[in-house]
Structure formats: structure tokens, C-alpha cells
Amino acid sequence: MKSETLPTLSPRDWELLREHVTVIHRPRGEVILAEGGHRRAIFIVKSGSVRVEQSQNGLGIALALLGEGEIFGEMGFVENVPASASVIVQDDAELEVIEGDALESIKASDPGFSVRFYHGLAISLARRLRLTSARLSRAGAGEAAQVNRHRVARTGNITARQVPPALGDRFDQFEQTMLSVKLALRAGSLDAEAAARQLSVGCDRVAALLEEYTDSDPLVEIGYNDLLSFRDQDHLEAGIGDYVFRETFGTLLLSATMARCYAKPRGFPDDHETMAMIMAGQAQGDDRLGPLIDRWFLDRPLCRTRRASAELMRRRLGAEVAACPPGESIRIASLASGTAGELLDLCAISEGAAIEASLVDLDGEALQAAARQADRLGLSDRVILVNGNVVGPPGEVVSLLPQHIVYALGLCDYLTDDEVVILLDRLYELVVPGGCALVTNLSPDNGDRLVMQHLLDWQAYHRSGEQIRALFARSAFGDRAVEIFADATGATVFARCIK
Amino acid sequence: MVTTVASEGDHRIQHYARFWQTEDPLADAVAAAFAERAAGGGRAMLETALNRGIGAVDDPPPALVALFKQLDEVPYWVDWDKVDRGSAAFLRTGLLGMAVLNLFCLPIMYYSPCGNKPLVFTGNLLKRAPRRLAETGRFVLECSRPGGLRRFSDGFKTNVKVRLMHAQVRRLLWRSGRWNSKWGAPVNQLYMAGTNVALSAGLIEGLERLGYRMGAGDVEALLHLWRYTGYISGVAPELQISTREEGRHLGELIHQLEGQPDDDSRALITALMSSSYHPRLEGAAWTQKVNYGVSRKLIGDALADELGYPRTHWGWTVSLARPMAGSLGLIHRYVPLLRSVAPRWGDRTWDFMLDLIMAGSKAEYHAPAHLARPAPEEKAA
């Protein structure tokens, strides 16, 4: 019996504690400490694992998973207040328990023990406080890759002389098209299908204009138009994007899905509700044009690839599960999971296979939605929801049990190269030998790259299969073979590697 | 292309070839600093520094301070009387000077197959040929006006702006990902020096071919004016010329380094010769023929053929003009009254003609969609 949590205790102190320890065996799912309950004792995990879980809107969301050697109950012991979270056995666990009364008696008999015990707890708590402070001082920097809280000002990138007059003319035409469709719909002189076609052509032209004017040659020419504005190509591309955004904002954001993608109410673009709208593919929006524009957007490469990649992930996970020996319990973790519809669907249909799903996400709301869905599907006992970061400094990332399959669907889109390598290292760490890691990334072939960047303020890293392969090579996976494939649209690249 | 020539053992060429890759560090640093500001921020600072001095700029970037330290320091060799004499010598040439600029100086500048790349980097840039003609003329005029190169005069300001525009062109082209370093640096020192030579010694040479001769003092003064212009433009001291002989040597050197003109040179020439000097003349085929005919006579058949000039019968106009231009030169040298009033007339003539060209510069020309000389990577692809 020894824990890193109490580093100041001497061997003699541990001897004393051992005399008062009770070893208990608890099966999976048993509640050791109930949130709000009052039990004054310190627990040390001897084997197996437990999860620390907090109730959010009546749904249990895990805050941490504790494995061998880790300690819990010490906070309640010091404060003597009801437990702030439940502790539930994750994997059949053997625990060492030191009851509060026994501890008090040791403290009374050996004042030196008391000093060392509290010193150890103080070190442990100080360590946690330091991590929390660091996290707060970075203002969520550890999550910045996933959470874009601030928008940049969209001015000052280009001068009036640099905006090509021909571009202005094209937007005049766009406005006229939109207005004429709107008036025709109002007058009832155009049916919805014909209106949708006209509108789609008009909106496609906007996307095409972005492509045309952000190409290298036009940008050089635009730069030449006003050299003393000292604009580089990236400024000019952003400036053209700003211009197109301003010209189309009022119209395109009548689409409910586009408006949500732009607004990012959860602080990041791919939140679970946005994804639900994209997955459902049901056009919504304001005014007469809104639903039609939404329909256009939902049929764009971005939405198609989001749907196709989720479906492909579900199928690939199914294939991985099918390849596992029958009857074996299979652990699958989804990182930055959102509601992980693909995984829950798989759990629901793979009744023969004992899948244990761990969903890890920073967004508690997404996890609650996943919990509700798991509940509806009768999967609550097979799904663990963990609220935490998967890429961050040591001590900040959530701990998970070793997994057979770990995947991150769409996460790499928001990570720099270095962060992707950290993620891959994390995947390597989590996957059991012979287990499988799967990640996806938007490919440079995504036809909506510019629409995302300039019209939806949706910044994403696009990578080719070769680029992802190179990142695997930089990670702990090293020179292991990486299988690269794409979804049906070709706009999302998948990479799979076996540890 | 540079290495091929240099490997033949010509040490002088090898020595000067390094200027092929040399840019203008002072101006480039300013462009880099201004790129970090919002659009218009750098320009406002530049205007303040030009109009009121660097001291009036609030919190100037160190790069701007360094540039103005160089600009505000007038070299010991500048003789303002000589600069003014050079200015008068140029303005006296009036219409003749303009014809030589357009039909002699610019064609020999466009001859340069590497130097011309920034002007034709995209096919559409060719459409700017008429406007560039007017802008070059305006630049030459402002630099050549009496007192034009004094610190707060328009010529000085235009010169500094052009220098920074060149720096920005370099940034844009390097960052385009398509600039081929085998072309040297964009707007490199040899190109800048070559332009300076073409507009000074080249102009004098062209005028002489047209029959107009300046006195030795005027020639020396005009070269002096352009030497200082080169200093303001950021031309390396080693490449600033003081005599026609130096200019000729430098021109030959650049010619040997550059090699033969390419399709881009010919495309630029076509655009230049198609430029109309008056909106009413736009599209008139005979003006193009006259331009080609006169220009061929001035630059010689060898260069004209290399540049793809068609043969026209209009070369006789030069033969006809020579006695008249020669007489005008003599009058300017030896008739004091006309010598003193001619610069004013010349100034007005230039102004009038440049306004006309600018009005006609809206015309567009058919241009190739892509660069005539692809980068080697493109060829490989």
C-alpha cells in the first residue's frame, strides 16, 4: 500500500496505516461514494479502476478515471463535508480503505504522523491548485485548438483601390438574382423548386468567385493595384474574403445552418447541435430565401463530407469490432466525441459484441445529449461520459483505461501539426498493443475550404493523407504502417494505424 | 543563366552577377514593417515622413527610421547647381525626349528577359503597359523638374514611393510561390541600375540617334541628376554611374548577364507600341506602325529583330527628323534666350502629353493568360 498522493509519509507511517486498512473488492458499477453523501474515509485504488462522476442535469458525467495507486476521499476527509462527486467502480476494483476514525486515532497517537499526513495532502492539493491556476491563466489556451472564443476584426486587410471592380459587378448581379427570386416567390410566380435552382446557381457563383479571386495570379494583380498599401498575399486573400462576406452576409445567413456555423454559440463550429442539423439535412431558415439557401448549403461539400465521414467511421468501427475475437469485451474511446452518434449506433447494433464506449469531450452539453441518447438506446451501462481535454499539458488531460480502439473524428481539423502529434502520442498511450487508432482530417480537396474560412469564419487545418502520415511518423507510432483512405466525398481523409 | 556566363571565366561579370540576387534591404525592411499594420497605416506614416520629416512620425518602425537616415543624408558628391543644369537639359528636349523615352529607353529596358518578369508575372499585368508608360513618364518628369530632387519636392517623394513600391513587388512575387530564383531577385539591383542607365545615358544616346546633341556640360549634368536619383531609388553605390562610358559598360554587362529577349519581352513591346498617345488615336493601326518604324531606327535592326519588331516604312521619319532635331540641339546650346525658355516649354509639353497618355491608358490589350516563360518547376510538371 503506497500512494504518490501522500509522498511525505515515512515507511513507518505506512506500517501504521496498514494496520488499520481494510481491503474491499467491489464489482463494476458499484457506487463507492455517492455525490452529496457523507463518508469520512480515504480510499486507495489497489487494482482495477473507478470513475469520479458528477451529475449534470440528472446525467452522470465523468470528471476523471482513477487507476492503481490513486487516492480519493481525501478532500471530504479534510473538509468533513458531503462528497462533491460520486465515485463509481469502473472496472472490478480492489480498494484499500482507511476509515476516518482509524486515521484520527493514528494522528492522536503519533503527532509526527499528523504533520506528515497533512503535509502530504497539502502538497497534493497544491499540485492540483497549480494546475487549475495554470489552466485559468492561459484562459483556456489548452482548449484553444478546439474552442475559438474570439473572432478577429475583418477590416484593414485590403484597400478600396484593391477590390477589383469586376468583383463588385458580380455581387451586384448576385443581389439582383436573390432579390428577383424573393420577389417571384412572394408573387407566387416561381415555384420552390425553380427558385431553389436559381438560388443555388447564384450561391455557387459566390463560392466560385472566392476561388477565382483568391488564386495566386489575381492576388498578385490586386496587390499591384495599390502597392503602397503594403498588403501581402495572405492579407489580400483575407481582404477579398472580408469583402465577399460583407456582400453576402445578409443573404447567406438567412440559412439556419450557416447562421449557426457562423455564430458558433458553443464557441466552436462543430458543436453537437450544428452537427445534428447537418446530419439531419433538413433545410431551415428565415424569410422566403432562408430554407432555400439552407438547402443549398446542406448539399455543399462540407455538409456532405461531415455526413459521409460519420457514416464511414461507423462502418470502420464496425469492421474493427468484427475483427476482434467474439465474446471479448471491446473498449472504444471517442476523443472530442460530441454526441458520438456513430459509436452509440454501433453499440446499439452490435449486441453480440460487448462494447464499452468512452466518450471524451470538453463540451458538457454534448455529453449530456450523448447520455440522453445512450439512455434511449438502453446503453447507459456501456457508455462512460468523460468531461475533459484530450490534448493539453500533463495533468490536464483526462485519464482513460487502455482501449482497443481510439478514434478522433474531426478533431485534427482544429489542431496544429504539433498538437496533432501530441494527440497521436496520446492515442498511442491509450491503445492496447494490437489496438487501433483512427483519426480524420479535412482534406485540401474540400471544396468548401474558402466558404468555411471566409463566409463562416470557420478556421480549419486541411491536410492530405501524406501530411497526416508524416505526423504519425513524428509521433510515438513512429514507422508503423498508416492506412490512408477517404470518405465517399473525398473531402475527409482517414488515417488508421495499429499499435 | 548568370552562372553559365560566369563560368566562362569573365571575372567582372562574376563580380557583378551577385547584384542579380541583391535587393534593397532598407526598403524591404520598411515594406515588411508596414505589412504588419492595417491597410493604409504604412502609407500614412510614409506620407508624414515624406511631407514633414521622419521626426514628425509618431512611433516610427526602426526600419523607416533607417531608410530616412539614408534618404535625408545628401551624399558629398551632390552638386545642386549641376542637378539643376541637368534638369534644364532634360526639359529642353521636350517632345523629342518623350519620343526617345518611349521608343528607345523603354524598349531597351523591356529587352531584359529576367528584369521584365515582374511586369508580366501574370498575363493581365500586360494590360497595364499604357498606364505604366504614363507613370514612367511622370516619374521622369518629376525627378527632372527644377528642384525636383530636393528633400521635400515631388520628384524626391515620387522616387521614394517608387522605391517602396518595388520593395512591395518583391514581397508579393516572392510570396506568390511562383517566382523562379533563376530570374534573380525581383526588381534586383542590376535591374534598378539598368533602369537608371536607360533613363540617363540611354536617353542621351537615343537623342543623339535622333540627331539631337547636348553639350558636354549638359550631358555631365544630366548624368549627375540621375546619379542622385539612383541614390534615392536605392541603387547600390557601386552601380551608380557618372559618365556615359560607365553607363555603356554597365549596359553591356547587364546585356551579357541577361542573354537574349524572350516572348515576355516581345509581349511587352507589343503592348508598348500599341499604346496610344491620344484617346482619339486609340486603335489606329498607323500609329503602331509609326512607333515600330521610329523605334527600329533608334534601337537598330539587330535589337529590333530580336524584339520581334515588324518591318515598316516609317523609319524615314527619323531621317527627316534628324536635321531638325540637330538644329534644335544647336539652338538650345548656342541661343541664350531659347536656351533659357526651352525648359519651361518642355515642362509644359511633357505635362500635356502625359495627361493625354493617361487619358488613353484605359485601353486594354489582348494579353496571354499565362507567363510566356514558365518556371522550370512548371515545365517539369
What would the pLDDT profile of A71-122 be if each residue is shown by its tens digit?
Answer: 888 777 777 778 888 898 888 889 989 888 888 888 888 888 888 888 888 8
Given a contact cutoff of 8 angstroms between Cβ atoms, the answer to whether B166 and B24 are in contact is: yes
Instruction: State the Rg of chain A over Cα.
Output: 27
- Which amino acid is it at B75? P
Is the pLDDT assigned to residue B380 strictly greater than 60?
no
Sign of the CA dihedral running A442, A447, A451, A454: positive
Q: State residue A162 phi and psi, 5-degree precision.
A: -90, -15
Q: Give dist(CA A221, CA A227) in Å, integer.
A: 10
Is the pLDDT assigned to residue B368 strictly greater than 50?
no
If you average pLDDT over every residue of chain B, what do you get? 88
Q: Give dist(CA A410, CA A442) in Å, integer.
A: 7
Q: Which of A157, A163, A221, A230 to mutate to test the interface with B (most CBs of B within 10 A)?
A: A230
Distance (Å) from the C-alpha of residue B77 to the closest C-alpha of chain A?
A: 31
Give the position of cell 474493427: A320
Q: Tell me, what's the pLDDT at B2?
A: 46
Answer whether A227 sits within 8 Å of B168, measured CB to CB.
yes
CA distances from B334 to A142, B25, B89, B91, B217 (A): 82, 45, 13, 16, 13
Q: Give dist(CA B100, CA B204) in Å, integer.
A: 9
A234 contacts on B by Cβ (under 8 Å): 175
Answer whether A224 sits within 8 Å of B172, measured CB to CB.
yes
Is the pLDDT assigned to residue A46 strictly greater than 90?
no
Q: Give dist(CA A302, CA A278) in Å, integer.
A: 9
Instruction: Report the 10 Å Cβ neighbour count for A55.
Output: 12
Q: Give dist(CA B374, CA B380) in Å, integer.
A: 10
Q: Tell me, what's the pLDDT at A99?
A: 86
A221 contacts on B by Cβ (under 8 Å): 122, 124-125
Kind of pairing between the strands at A86-99 and A31-33: antiparallel
Q: Give dist(CA B123, CA B367) in Å, integer.
A: 6
Locate the DSSP E strands across B28-95.
Answer: none
Q: Tell me, what's the pLDDT at B365?
A: 33
Of A171-175, A345-349, A494-498, B13-17, the poorest mean pLDDT is in B13-17
More confident site: B368 or A316: A316
Instruction: State the Rg of chain B over Cα.
Output: 20
**What angle do helix axes A192-213 and A290-298 make, rounded to 10 degrees?**
60
Q: Give dist(CA B349, CA B337) in Å, integer.
A: 18
Q: Give dist(CA A136, CA A132) in Å, integer.
A: 6
Q: Which chain A residue lies closest to B120 (C-alpha atoms)?
A: A221
Q: Tell me, what's the pLDDT at B213?
A: 96
Q: Which of B31, B43, B125 sits opposite A224 (nearest CB)?
A: B125
Instruction: Report the 10 Å Cβ neighbour count for A205.
Output: 16
Distance (Å) from the C-alpha of residue A268 to the closest C-alpha of chain B?
A: 27
Burial of A175 (0-12, 13-18, 19+ CB in 10 A): middle
Q: Tell me, what's the pLDDT at A336?
A: 92
B364 contacts on A by Cβ (under 8 Å): none
Residues B56-89: pLDDT tens digits? Answer: 999 999 999 999 999 999 999 999 999 999 999 9
Given a contact cutoff of 8 angstroms between Cβ atoms, the answer to whether B214 and B148 are in contact is: no
Q: Which of B34, B123, B173 sits opposite A230 (nearest CB)?
A: B34
What are the residues of chain A with a beta carbon less than 8 Å away from any beta carbon of chain B?
155-159, 162, 216-221, 223-224, 227-235, 239
Q: Give dist(CA B273, CA B293) in Å, integer.
A: 10
Given a contact cutoff of 8 angstroms between Cβ atoms, the answer to whether B178 and B225 are in contact is: no
DSSP A431-486: EEEEEEEEEEEE-TT-TTHHIIIIIS--------HHHHHHHHHHSTTTT--EEEEE
Distance (Å) from the C-alpha of residue B146 to the closest C-alpha of chain A?
A: 26
**C-alpha cell at position A467:** 501530411
DSSP A350-393: --SSEEEEEEEES-HHHHHHHHHHHHHTT-GGGEEEEESBSSSS
Residues A456-495: pLDDT tens digits? Answer: 999 999 999 999 999 999 999 999 999 999 999 999 999 9
ipTM exceeding the 0.95 mark: no
Q: Which of B42, B124, B178 sits opposite A230 (nearest CB)?
A: B42
A239 contacts on B by Cβ (under 8 Å): 39
Q: Give dist(CA B162, CA B139) in Å, integer.
A: 9
Q: Give dist(CA B85, CA B256) in Å, integer.
A: 33
Q: Which chain A residue lies closest to B40 (C-alpha atoms)?
A: A229
Residues A242-264: pLDDT tens digits? Answer: 999 999 999 999 999 999 999 99
Q: State residue B172 phi and psi, 5-degree precision.
A: -60, -45
Of A10-19, A365-374, A489-498, B331-340, the poorest mean pLDDT is in A10-19
If you average pLDDT over every residue of chain A, what do you get? 88
A132-168 CB burial, b ≥16 within 10 A, e <16: eeebeeeeeebbbbbbbeeeeeeebbbbeebbbeebe
Q: Which of B135, B168, B171, B378 to mutate to test the interface with A (most CBs of A within 10 A)?
A: B168
**C-alpha cell at position A495:** 488515417
- Which amino acid is it at A179? L
Is the pLDDT assigned to residue A390 strictly greater than 90?
no
Q: What is the enclosing helix (H) or strand (E) of B96?
A: helix B94-100
